[in-house]
Structure 1
Amino acid sequence: MAYRVQIWEGGEVEWAISSTAGRKPPSPLCFDRNPDDTYPFFAALRAGFQKAIETHQGFVHRPEGGRAFPRISTFHDFGQLSDISTAASVVLAAEYQRISTLVDVVPPTVNLNKWNPNVYAKLTQLGFFEILGIEKKVRPVVNESGKTRTMRIVRAQNLDALESIDEALKQLALFLDPSDNLSENVIVEFLTGLSEAITNVIHHAYADGMEIPDRHINSLWVTATADRLENSMTVVVYDQGATIPVTYPKMERLEKVTRYVERAIRRRLERALRRPSSSHPYEDDPTYIRAAMRYGGSRTDQRHRGLGLPQMFDALKRIGEGSLSVFSRGGWCKRTHNGRFTSGALSYSIGGTLVEWSVKLPTQGRTR
């Protein structure tokens, strides 16, 4: 059975024929609120894109002569999507940018006229259609919409991009706190941690010899949102590298870190022996993520080295309300401002490492 759809590749909208009715993404598309559906959706998307990368095949077939409608084999029906989180938007954009870079083509946008206006507006603010190469207009790094300001997704391949990220985050901080307390007292510390995290990605996540299942483009993606109504700020960082559970066990660690990891894995194995049917390949992933969040990546006790994630948490503690969440391969860990951890593992990989730093300022708009 064939289906008539509208496709958009940056020029005029045109009719095309699809061999399938389209794959419906889960809604909400969110790793936090709907992980059981969101993880497998991205795993399937990544597998389909990887096949296209390996075969260097495009997504739209145009019959010779131009008389017949273009044809597509299948598509993702984002018209069925009513809610997408910022973190999921970043991972989606990264997957599309990877295939765009490696194959020089991306899947067309299908039935855009049926998309939820809020989903379309959010992805537009984040610069999703610019990343696809469909929208040619280059928006400012920080975009304003009512009581919200959004830093469009910035792709970084080295520390050179940190300057524009630094400036954008300071703009968002001043938007929430014109007194500049947030910018001066917290954002500088957070940016130091972010710089360290980016350095860790460059040195470890894409290092030679690291096990990375899919082809990558040696990049990470950063975005942020400030909401004046909620008096909150969220920063999201994502990379498609080797992940913390892969890289962390291969690094030299302090003895106390090694003991911490070994104890945690031993307890997990003891539980698995009592419930063998509940285990899966990513069960140990939260242990390594939690260790990285607690101790960082340092081989020494020097406070100024290897503290990307711990330093992000320190900045969070100074504000007094919020959380730091890390999703890496099949594991996730969330640490709230009071130091409390929650964690878990799924049987699907997120395809890299995702960090989400969320803070809420005190009502007077000043740091504690």
Structure 2
Amino acid sequence: MVFDKNFEEMTDFLEGTRRRLLKVNKGSVWIARRGKRHGPSIAGYVDFSKIEEMSTAAALVLAAEYQRAIDIIKSPPPLVNIRNWKDEVLLQLYQLGFFSILGITDDALAGQLYTQGDVMTLKILSGSNALETEQADQMLMELGRFLDPENQLPNNIRIPLNSALSEAMVNVRKHAYPEDYDFQYRHLGRWWLAASANRREKSLTVVIYDQGATIPVTYSKMATLDHVRKFIDQIVAPGQKQPFAYDGVHIEAAAKFGNSQTGQSHRGKGLPDMLHVIDQCQDGRLVILSRGGRYVYNAGGRSSRSSYHRSVGGTLIEWNVRLPDDGPGDRND
């Protein structure tokens, strides 16, 4: 389960997972007893025993789907054949706090951040309000201090590094769940976040997911500035029957120009700030999956976009940067 390796198979699997987990009615039970002659009946489940590999991004989306099912049905879906799961998959989900979301393990005393050698990991967080966003900011700042304990990063890296993720979470609250959009599945109006910092490699990886209306839907309504519309209109051709055909274009526009409708330089810069940090560090990668679109930006300005027939079920952002040993720029405030 790695989006880079098999995007279409992954989105098919996730769509099937949503249907299985949400087919149970609110107040129903997942496992029903059918009498002495018959074994228990399971209303819905997903078997992970065939999964060979799972990325952090995939684990985050799965956690969001299970949390949605728990919230709607008011009980956690069952996990089956756990003894047959691959050790790597089991460990990945455990370290990210997946089982505590389902109430199977109690990791409250272990804390949200844990360190193993040169790696600090932020377990899966979810939020929707300003307080939860602020708490996530504090966790991410801890990861930053772990990577840069002597505060040696120059301002042209440190400032956008700190602000980009805050802006991304604020954007979810403000734009991802419009009231006038007809969602296929009931959403929770939340974001999900996981991250890790590797001190030896001086790298930071952050993954954010939401179940919202997606960038191709919301950005096309928000992109009112002339230069943004010109960029989109030069590529998008009318009459395309495949509804997701230009999703990658709208994601690229959002990453390049941000979502500000006013043109003010300090607003709507979450995604552009992520690109800026990659360029300043000269090493990193940003991958955005939203509805059926995919946009990839690599250090040095190399980018690509593509579109698929199946939606990822929201917007997934995976940001990886490797900090320079001696970054350029002014270190003073």
Fold match by TM threshold 0.5: yes
SS in 1 for 2:306: strand
Instruction: Please give the residue correspondences for 1:61-80 in structure 2 after superposition, counting only pairs within 5 Å.
Output: 61-63=32-34, 69-72=39-42, 75-80=45-50
Matching residue's letter, 2:313: G
How far off its partner does 1:286 sit? 0.6
| Equivalent in the alignment of 2:190 | 219
| Residues 230-255 of structure 1, C-alpha deviations (whole Å, 9 max, x = no match) | 33210011100110111111225111
**Could you say which residue in structure 1 is the equivalent of 2:228?**
257
| Distance apart, 1:185 and its partner CA | 5.8
Equivalent residue, structure 1, for 2:327: 367
Q: Does 1:51 align with 2:23?
A: yes
How far apart are the structure 2 equivalents of 1:200 and 1:213?
A: 21
Unaligned runs of 5+ in 1: 1-28, 273-278
SS of the residue corresponding to residue 327 of structure 1 reads strand
RMSD between aligned alpha carbons? 2.2
SS in 2 for 1:300: coil
With normalisation by structure 1, the TM-score equals 0.82
| 1:83 aligned onto 2:53 | yes
Query: Structure 1 residues 188 and 159 mapped into 2: Cα distance closer, same or farther (>3 Å)?
Result: farther
List per-residue Cα deviations over 1:334-357 (Å, max 9, x = no partner).
Answer: 111222221111111111001111
1:168 aligns with 2:139: yes
Q: Give the deviation of 1:72 after TM superposition.
A: 1.9
| 1:322 is the counterpart of 2:294 | no
Q: Distance in 1 between matches of 2:224 and 2:174?
A: 16
User: Which amino acid in 1 is paired with 2:208?
Assistant: V
1:341 partnered with 2:321: no
Task: Give the percent of matched residue pairs that are identical in Structure 1 and Structure 2.
Answer: 38
Contact 2:47/2:79 (CA < 8 Å) preserved in 1? no
TM-score, normalized by length of structure 2? 0.90
Residue identity in the other structure for 2:67: Q
Q: Is the 8 A contact 2:157 2:281 kept in 1?
A: yes
Q: 1:101 aligns with which of 68, 71, 74?
A: 71
Q: Which position in structure 2 is the counterpart of 1:190? A: 161
Give the counterpart letter for 1:237 in structure 2: I
Q: 1:174–1:183: 8 Å Cα contact kept in structure 2?
A: no
2:93 to 123, 135, 142: 123
List per-residue Cα deviations over 1:72-123 (Å, max 9, x = no partner): 2563221222210011110000000001011112221212122222211111
- Give the aligned partner of residue 20 of structure 1: none
For the 8 Å contact 2:133–2:170, the answer to whether it is kept is: no
Alpha-carbon displacement from aligned partner over 1:286-322 (angstroms, at most 9, x marks no partner): 1111110011111232111111111222222222210
Change (3 A) 1:197 1:41: same
The answer (yes or no) to whether the contact 1:60–1:72 under 8 Å persists in 2 is yes
Count, aligned residues: 327
Corresponding residue number in structure 2 for 1:113? 83
**Separation in structure 2 between the aligned mates of residue 194 and residue 313 of structure 1, nearest angstrom:** 12
Q: Give the C-alpha shift of residue 184 in structure 1.
A: 6.6
**Structure 2 letter corresponding to 1:50:** L
Tell me which residue corresponds to 2:262: 300
Give per-residue Cα distances to partners, 1:53-85, cap 9 Å, x unaligned.
5x6543211236x88643325632212222100
CA contact (8 A) 1:210 1:247 kept: no
Aligned partner of 2:331 in structure 1 is none
- For the 8 Å contact 2:206–2:319, the answer to whether it is kept is yes
1:200 equivalent to 2:151? Answer no
Counterpart-to-counterpart distance in 2, 1:58 and 1:283: 40
Cα separation, 2, equivalents of 1:188 and 1:101: 36
